[in-house]
Structure 1
């Protein structure tokens, strides 16, 4: 292999050069030391010539013995260094060819820096494989989510063209609802994607959240009452530095989530300060989340009651949007059962002092 030949040759030549240079320096250094000593102590001079043929023969023999030893040491060192590097090169080549499952073996971990390099490479490869799997899942899920409204739109429009359906107000409103569903899905995907890439733009300003929530509740109350829900507000007067539009979007997603999945009754919105945080919570009266979904409810396209969600136009991205918005603010979102046995979602932001 070219890498092995090149690096092995360099190590061998370097070790040989070091051996010859060290032997020569030691040999002539010894004579230089004798010269200095004799200059100060002439009686020690035996009268022999400074450098004899015997001395040169000894130097040559010493170098000839040392060179094979240096070559063996150099080759063993090269083998220890090159084996993990060759494994790394093979794995990198397989990944470049599309095999994201390739991993390199660190081999002898006594070479600390190389073992660390391979560990980092394997971590990177695992992340690439996870990202590719997530992307494939996202593509399949998005295609599935888009298929339903597009199929309905195409069928209704084709039916109108063929004269099966009359293009009356009721039919056209149904088509508009499907278009709204598509627009909502696209906007939710955009929000989540921008947040994941760190490019979700926020217009931060000091906001009195209680006032914003009351205004929003007044607008939503009639529609919620018609569906059997009532809004109950428990709001402290706190100031937070947030993007008010994005917070309203997240709050609306939580209220819509409760409307889709909770039993008819009160939806409680609370706002309080706790431990340096401003906590905005939305609680319903049940039935809450099953344990198997409570740990991954903020993942994209995870639904509670899938049938009811589809009937009300859910796309499984609402809570992912909430998490994306809150984390973009440097906060966190969490779930726990409410006191009434329902679901309680809390958005925690840093309090402005």
Structure 2
């Protein structure tokens, strides 16, 4: 059973129960009220009848006058003598009226004690309402009067009232049914909309929007689901982009490993040839070693990137001096720069910064390597200058430069501005991605300025130690 049906039936049953309960209580209350009013009216009428009967004389006149009084009042009357014996009775042809031939001693005692006050015994089981009274100063032998009427005479108005209540009850129930159906529809309509939208979202339709303009909990829930769907759209797009990057990442790794492996395999095959010239043998050995180093650098960079993606303690900051790093760069690349005819200028004054020394050295190493690789003549400079609370570190060259179209993707993994040329130079396409991950891990930003044919400048800042 749907929520709408449950709500409708709940409202209908509760309201029907309430209406019938109130109606039944009203009927019982009116019935008791009419009976009480009838008793009070009968008590007054009995006093009036007692006075009327007191003025009657014995004989035929008593019978006629008693009948006249009974017809006038609408009561069935009977009179008793001083001993409580029945004298006359008038039933108005009502066979159900059968007064006692003699009053009981208890009734007589009560009437004598009450004098002119009527006695109305309470008998819930009886179908009649009876009143006794002592007749004051009677001119006849009649000393006691009995007046009686059927309770149905008192309850007569209740029949009309009952039907009025029943009609009202049926009309009310009809209205309740219609109102309950409308209310249940009004309350469950947003629930149905939200349920359908949630089902669509669960089925993958994250573009679904719930259009419920309400200021109650339903409106709040709809807004929350719309926000969830919006976040799911963003997350889905991000997952798709991540999956595409992941796919491209594995394709690039496969390609990067396959090429050097082919080169190594070819070199090994050539080394197996008989009577190979010593010069060519050395050439193939160098080629295999160079490709082995390339694979080693590739996995070294991948390890760095993996730690950046998963290790919250990727960067361990401390105070350190930059001058030992630049001196180490001179030891590593001084001879290479001279062989290419490049002037390697390294700032070597003492400067303390806060960062991760091995990783900052790796950044500078990667940037210097790139600068030397893509500079055919001119100067490669490594400088660091204190600027207030920060130290600006830059690596600048007079190399071939980078066109503007490549700047935005320069730090993407495996991205190369010239893939064929980069592979020929032994690059992995991960060096700048590693640089960016390390600088991001320090909470800084790597900046690049370049012009084709003029050179390139990479820079970043670290807090001053």
- State TM-score, norm by structure 1: 0.78
Q: Which residue of 1 aligns with 2:407?
A: 294
Between 1:122-131 and 1:76-85, the stretch displaced more is: 76-85
Cα 1:157/1:219, change in 2 over 3 Å: closer
Q: Which residue of 1 aligns with 2:335?
A: 222
* Residue 133 (structure 1) shift: 0.7
* Residue 259 (structure 1) shift: 1.1
Match 2:287 to one of 159, 170, 174: 174
Secondary structure class of the residue paired with 1:81: helix
Cα 1:88/1:169, change in 2 over 3 Å: same
Between 1:274-283 and 1:291-300, the stretch displaced more is: 274-283
Q: Which residue of 2 aligns with 1:87?
A: 200
Cα 1:23/1:333, change in 2 over 3 Å: farther
2: distance between equivalents of 1:255 and 1:203? 23
Deviation per CA, 1:279-322, whole angstroms, max 9, x where unpaired? 21100113321010112111112223434422321121111111
Cα 1:137/1:202, change in 2 over 3 Å: same
Task: Map 1:258-297 onto structure 2 (within 5 A).
Answer: 258-274=371-387, 276-297=389-410
1: distance between equivalents of 2:202 and 2:411? 38
Q: Which residue of 1 aligns with 2:128?
A: none
* Residue 27 (structure 1) shift: 9.9
1: distance between equivalents of 2:14 and 2:232? 38
Cα 1:273/1:179, change in 2 over 3 Å: same
Q: Which residue of 1 aligns with 2:416?
A: 303
Residue 317 (structure 1) aligned with residue 310 (structure 2): no
Q: Which has the larger radius of gyration?
A: 2
Secondary structure class of the residue paired with 2:264: helix
Cα 1:164/1:350, change in 2 over 3 Å: farther
Residue 336 (structure 1) aligned with residue 449 (structure 2): yes
Residue 17 (structure 1) aligned with residue 10 (structure 2): yes
Deviation per CA, 1:34-84, whole angstroms, max 9, x where unpaired? x9xxxxxxxxxxxx9999655644553332222221343245333322232
Contact 1:260 1:309 in 2 (8 A): no
Residue ranges of structure 1 left out of the alignment (5+ in a row) = 1-5, 36-47, 92-101
Residue 159 (structure 1) aligned with residue 159 (structure 2): no
Deviation per CA, 1:123-142, whole angstroms, max 9, x where unpaired? 11111111111111111111
Contact 1:273 1:351 in 2 (8 A): yes
Between 1:160-169 and 1:276-285, the stretch displaced more is: 160-169
Match 2:360 to one of 213, 222, 247: 247
* Residue 160 (structure 1) shift: 3.2
Cα 1:158/1:215, change in 2 over 3 Å: closer
2: distance between equivalents of 1:302 and 1:172? 29
Match 2:251 to one of 115, 140, 143: 140
2: distance between equivalents of 1:112 and 1:57? 42
Deviation per CA, 1:86-142, whole angstroms, max 9, x where unpaired? 210221xxxxxxxxxx64321426431221121111111111111111111111111
Residue 130 (structure 1) aligned with residue 233 (structure 2): no
Cα 1:105/1:259, change in 2 over 3 Å: same
How many correspondences in the alignment? 321
Cα 1:118/1:162, change in 2 over 3 Å: same
Cα 1:164/1:295, change in 2 over 3 Å: farther
Match 1:113 to one of 210, 224, 232: 224
Q: Which residue of 2 aligns with 1:3?
A: none
1: distance between equivalents of 2:194 and 2:341? 72
Deviation per CA, 1:144-184, whole angstroms, max 9, x where unpaired? 11111000111222333454857844433322221111111
2: distance between equivalents of 1:221 and 1:84? 67
Cα 1:322/1:145, change in 2 over 3 Å: same
2: distance between equivalents of 1:65 and 1:288? 80
1: distance between equivalents of 2:358 and 2:188? 67
Q: CA RMSD in A?
A: 3.4
* Residue 258 (structure 1) shift: 0.7
Between 1:142-151 and 1:204-213, the stretch displaced more is: 204-213
